[in-house]
Chain A
Amino acid sequence: MGSTEVGIVSLVVAAVAAAGCAAKSPPQVFGRPVTLVPRSETEPRVRGELLAADDRVAYVRTKDGVREVELGSLREALVQRHGSTPGKAMIWATIGGLASGIGLTAACSSVDGNGTGGCARIGAVTAAIWLGMGGIAAASFSSSANLPVAPWDKALRPYARFPAGLPKGVSAQSLVEGPPGPK
């Protein structure tokens, strides 16, 4: 490879390495994002930041406010283990696919004699490869991103903002501030 390409590839590698480092979650001062799965198929799942969990109730800050969920009504709780989610994989693949597809189509078309249709196909195939790889990564992340936890024992508590339970004098409903929870 020429030195220019080595430099470019090094930058890309550095970017990937940086992205990999960024995926390692630093210690959080908030509770972990959780998904509470009800026993009933008709009941919706509850997603948000786990504020606290006691013997009876889990408090979850959702985008619609703080929800108190009976632990006995749950089949399981899914605690987010890492930030590499399926959604992020698809967003990255879409950005990469668009950049590669448009870039390669434009580069191909700039060479005299190459037809627009053929160049567009090269761009489309490249974008499709990106999206396909993104789909594979998303499936992988989907299975690894969440840790299933039995909500009725104390295993859920360490992941809460308040692992010892809601502090006395603090209303769960007042805890609406914080980073956006999982959607």
Chain B
Amino acid sequence: MRERPGRLPAAILLGLWAGQAGCTITVYTPELHEPTVPVAQTKDRGQLKVHLSSGELIVLDDWKLSPDGSRLSGTGQVYTVAREPKGGPGRQDVSTADVAVLETTSSKSMFSAGMGVMATTTVLLGAATVACVASPKSCFGSCPTFYVDGAGGRPGEPERPQAEGFSASIARVLEARDVDALGLARPGGAQVGITMRNEALETHAVRRVLLLAAPRPPGGRVLAGADDRFYPTPALVPPLSCRAPEGDCLAALRAGEHGRSSSADPSDLATREEIELAFPAARGRSGVVIAARQTLLSTFLFYQSMAYVGRGAGEFLASLERGGPEAGRRAMGMARLLGGIDVEVAEGGSPWRAIGSFDEPGPIAGDTRVLPFEATGGEPLRVRLRLAKGHWRLGSIALARLGDPVTPSRLAAERVERDGRPDEPARRQLATGGGHLVTHPGDAYRLVFRLPPSAAPLELFLESEGYYYEWMRHEWLADEDPRMAALVLADPAEALRRLAPVYKAREPEMEQAFWASRFRK
């Protein structure tokens, strides 16, 4: 189990507090008194037990001895010899001649190491268990993740990552730069804290992390384009209709986090489907805005490929590095065939024209991109998406009128902290990109950025660059199959057909596990 370092101190403090608070036991010691001797009523003594000669017992909450010492009266409950209540509680009056002995009880708190051990164990392990069951990914892994302070609308680090970096860069040869829209705006001059975590059984090599900030137009947004440019837009226009193979998909697109998705094809994982949307007519520079994330299909294929390679994983990765970009391209053959979300537009009855693809890897944080195009404004706009079945979850599709591209400020972190202490070498590395900051499972770095002055709120994007190595799992070795490993590289299309039934058998289970373990507030 990898406990999140940032949360560990709080949990330990709570555990120690509970241990301290719960490590005393109160011990009650009885004291006997003669019946005719007045027994002072004190808070420490509590109740008075009046043991009668008959064997009955009266427990008094308050009491008074008559001046001549002959009678004892008060409020309380009588018990029989068998110690069953006799009548109800009320006023009691008894002759001291009938009293055998009086009993009071003093209390004393006693230190108990055992109670402290149990209280601390219960709090620490109990809290860790509940937290991990509520959010398994936060304990047991995911891709390189970034958490922006206050992104959940509350102070501190949110439960859900706002970005995952360079998910497709599974080897040094595939090292890449990745820009993720954080979907957030902050005022100019503000400080932005971002925690970068390694939550998976992976070694991450992070070359650079920068925060990009661009002023939002009044009431609008700034969108990252698939062409690596940034476009301001005054508003996002939702679709008028949405038709998918299953029928109307408008409601699914409005469902938010889950979005619209489909099942993979049972005979060929590369099988594609089409979705058609309608928008009002647009004029001038426009864009189709797509917010989406991958399903676990790509994760399955990656892990299965690693399993097929088995004990040869080290050799495979080494050959990948030696082979350069071409070897990397071959290794990503199945991912290339699955492809992105290809987008076409048409105005009225005019022919379809391709405007680009949305292809942001990773099943955790997703991303938002705009695909720009020029619209004539003559007729309503139709948008057609082509995508591999069961490969994408569409969060939202919108139309945007785009302004002239803007250049965001590229900000390096002014402070980097690890375990609450400044880490200047890490800050320099992440700012300059001169080398790699290597992280291991459980590592976390907090990056603090200072936004430039701005009258308008600043739309934020995260730029990360690097690569990572997946750790081999003992369980994967059982699936070692050199012939399938070779097929994945030599004929990825055939591999996707052969893997289709394997994936279909696990698809419902994987999706359920994914959503059961999604990050929640």
Bound-state CA distance A19–B24 (Å) is 12
Q: How far is the CB of A154 from chain B (nearest CB, A)?
A: 9
Choose one: B17, B18, B115, B474; the contact of A84 (CB below 8 Å): B115
Q: How far is the CB of B237 from chain A (nearest CB, A)?
A: 35
Is the Cβ of A108 less than 8 Å from the Cβ of B122?
no
Choose one: A4, A12, A81, A116; the contact of B122 (CB below 8 Å): A12
Is the Cβ of A84 less than 8 Å from the Cβ of B112?
yes
Q: Answer whether residue B201 sits at the interface, using C-beta atoms and an 8 A cutoff.
A: yes
List A contacts of B156 (CB < 8 A): 1-2
Bound-state CA distance A172–B111 (Å) is 37
Is the Cβ of A16 less than 8 Å from the Cβ of B123?
yes
Is the Cβ of B201 less than 8 Å from the Cβ of A99?
no
List A contacts of B132 (CB < 8 A): 103-104, 107-108
Q: How far is the CB of A95 from chain B (nearest CB, A)?
A: 10
Q: How far is the CB of B155 from chain A (nearest CB, A)?
A: 10
Is the Cβ of B26 less than 8 Å from the Cβ of A82?
yes
Interface residues on A, range: 35 or more
Is the Cβ of A100 less than 8 Å from the Cβ of B125?
yes
Is the Cβ of A16 less than 8 Å from the Cβ of B53?
no
Choose one: A103, A119, A136; the contact of B129 (CB below 8 Å): A103
Choose one: B27, B121, B475; the contact of A81 (CB below 8 Å): B27
Is the Cβ of A2 less than 8 Å from the Cβ of B159?
yes
Is the Cβ of B26 less than 8 Å from the Cβ of A122?
no
Interface core residue of B81, B128, B157 (most chain A CB under 10 Å)? B81
Q: How far is the CB of A143 from chain B (nearest CB, A)?
A: 9
Is the Cβ of A12 less than 8 Å from the Cβ of B126?
yes
Is the Cβ of A163 less than 8 Å from the Cβ of B514?
no
List B contacts of A129 (CB < 8 A): 121, 125
Chain A, range 142-171, C-beta contacts under 8 Å to B: 144, 157-159, 161-168, 170
Is the Cβ of A130 less than 8 Å from the Cβ of B127?
no
Q: A17-B18, A104-B129, A114-B140 are in contact. Are A92 and B513 (CB under 8 A)?
A: no
Closest chain A residue to B470, Cβ basis: A113
Interface residues on B, range: 35 or more
List B contacts of A117 (CB < 8 A): 474-475
Closest chain B residue to A2, Cβ basis: B159
List A contacts of B134 (CB < 8 A): 4-5, 8
Closest chain B residue to A139, Cβ basis: B114
Q: A23-B115, A24-B25, A104-B133 are in contact. Are A164 and B101 (CB under 8 A)?
A: yes
Q: Answer whether residue B95 sits at the interface, using C-beta atoms and an 8 A cutoff.
A: no
Q: How far is the CB of B368 from chain A (nearest CB, A)?
A: 24
Choose one: B22, B113, B154, B521; the contact of A17 (CB below 8 Å): B22
Is the Cβ of B474 less than 8 Å from the Cβ of A115?
yes
Is the Cβ of A108 less than 8 Å from the Cβ of B139?
yes
List B contacts of A119 (CB < 8 A): 140
Q: A2-B159, A29-B79, A140-B117 are in contact. Are A16 and B7 (CB under 8 A)?
A: no
Q: How far is the CB of B448 from chain A (nearest CB, A)?
A: 20
User: 21 pairs across A/B with beta carbons < 8 Å?
Assistant: A2-B156, A2-B521, A3-B154, A4-B521, A9-B14, A13-B14, A19-B22, A24-B26, A93-B118, A99-B129, A104-B132, A107-B133, A107-B136, A117-B475, A140-B112, A158-B29, A158-B32, A167-B53, A167-B100, A168-B53, A178-B82
Spell out B's residues near A (CB within 8 Å): 1, 7, 10-11, 14, 17-18, 21-22, 24-32, 46-47, 49, 51, 53-55, 57, 59, 79, 81-84, 100-101, 103, 105, 107, 110, 112-115, 117-119, 121-123, 125-134, 136-137, 139-142, 152, 154, 156-159, 200-201, 296, 299-300, 303, 473-476, 510, 513-514, 516-517, 520-521
Ranked 7 nearest A-B pairs via Cβ = A140-B114, A115-B475, A167-B55, A164-B100, A137-B114, A158-B30, A24-B26
Spell out A's residues near B (CB within 8 Å): 1-5, 8-9, 12-13, 15-17, 19-20, 23-25, 27, 29-30, 81-82, 84, 89, 92-93, 96, 99-100, 103-104, 106-119, 122, 126, 129-130, 133-134, 136-141, 144, 157-159, 161-168, 170, 175, 177-178
